[in-house]
Chain A
Amino acid sequence: VQLQESGPGLVKPSQTLSLTCSVSGGSINSGEDYWSWIRHVPGKGLQWIGFIDYTGRPSYNPSLESRLTMSTDTSRNEMSLTLRSLTAADTAVYYCAKGGSLFDPWGQGILVTVSS
């Protein structure tokens, strides 16, 4: 399985971030697989954002839940992340990964900068 993130590299404060994770080498809704988003905030370490399971049911980190939506598009074999009301604190490298609590493999990551 290989994963690849895509989306904007620069977003303005208060706006909404939309990222896509394209999955190849496997089906996003096969087996009992889970798919996660994780971010690496500069100087603050890795943070699990949430996962979506093979039925499309999400589970979010409570610290982000009020601003977060995750979904899958099985026809495109993709999952997506939407994060609203962005601030500079959301500047990070965003990764998608296979797994709900144990993550392997990971995508290469995409740097998202929140700045005006």
Chain B
Amino acid sequence: DIHMTQSPSSLSASVGDRVTISCRASQSIDHYLNWYQQTPGKAPKLLIFGGFNLQSGVPSRFSGSGSGTDFTLTINSLQPEDFATYFCQQSSSSPYTFGQGTKLEVK
């Protein structure tokens, strides 16, 4: 199985900040990397697919980059609704695996 490692596991920031979350795959996954956002009590929501493609309806302050084994999710100008847990997930090969999550908290 491809192991996905996210860092940091938690992050404190303020509204208006720019934050980055990293995700590393244990082997190359080309660009088959997706990002999800989950707020407490709600279902995960797809933000970015294929490494950098913004899902319809997702604000442009979210962006993704990377390929191969190293990927980054960037959130520019944090908004109150962005404080949530973020997961990366590889869709390169089955079984499809997730990172352990990064919890973004208010500083």
Contact = CB atoms under 8 A, between A and B. Distances in A.
Whether chains A and B associate is yes
B83 interface: no
Nearest to A106: B43
Given A63-B95, A101-B94, A45 B44 contact: no
Interface in A53-75: 59, 61-63
A104 B46 contact: yes
Interface stretch (B19-27, B64-72, B74-82, B96-104): B96-104
Do most interface residues of chain A lie in helix, strand or loop, or is the interface mixed? loop
A61 B96 CA distance: 8
B43 A102 contact: no
A88 interface: no
B87 A46 contact: yes
Given A46-B89, A102-B34, A102-B91, A95 B43 contact: yes
B97 A103 contact: no
7 contacts: A44-B100, A46-B44, A46-B101, A48-B95, A48-B98, A95-B43, A104-B45
Interface of B: 32, 34, 36, 42-46, 49, 55, 87, 89, 91, 94-101
